[in-house]
Amino acid sequence: MKKHAQKKVEYMPNGIKVLMIITNSMKSNKLISILNEHGVYYCNCIRGKGTANKEVLDFLGIGEIDKDILFCLLDESRVNEVMNFLKEDREFVGGRKGIAFTMSLDSIASRKAIHEIVRK
């Protein structure tokens, strides 16, 4: 009887979401650690300095112009958990501290590209 080589099964999520978070400057390291505990598997931070006027900043609810901008990837099934954490914690977003939103990565990348991102 022939033995069939078992094919390695790699994790491939049903849908990947991009989580964008704009938060007060110098808060990103703590937030990234917490997000990793909630299943976020990629997070990159850049420092931002905007030039928006007070009316725009007030409308967006982000207050100051010095911000950290986080670009994160997470499985679609984890979005509610992460967004609920951000809503309840209030240290990083809301109340003029920052904003968070998600968008689908599936619509801007092929499944092969998504597979490579998840694999790394």
User: What is the tens place of the pLDDT at every residue in 102-120?
Assistant: 887 655 556 666 666 666 5
Q: How far apart are CA 62 and CA 104, in angstroms?
A: 23
Domain CATH number, residue 97: 3.30.70.120
Q: Which residues contact 41 (CB under 8 A, 6 or more apart)?
A: 73, 74, 75, 118
Total structural domains within the chain: 1
In angstroms, what CA-CA distances link 77 with 55, 59, 68? 35, 30, 25
**pLDDT level of residue 80 (50, 70, 90 thresholds):** very high
Residue 2 scores a pLDDT above 80: no
Q: Is residue 79 part of a domain?
A: yes
Q: Is residue 53 part of a domain?
A: yes
What phi, psi does 88 have (nearest 5°)? -80, -35
Residue 62 scores a pLDDT above 70: no
Q: How far apart are CA 22 and CA 69, in angstroms?
A: 5
Q: Is residue 2 part of a domain?
A: no
Q: Is residue 1 part of a domain?
A: no
Whether pTM > 0.85 for this model: the answer is no
Q: Is residue 48 part of a domain?
A: yes
Q: Could you tell me the residue range of the domain that residue 41 belongs to? A: 16-119
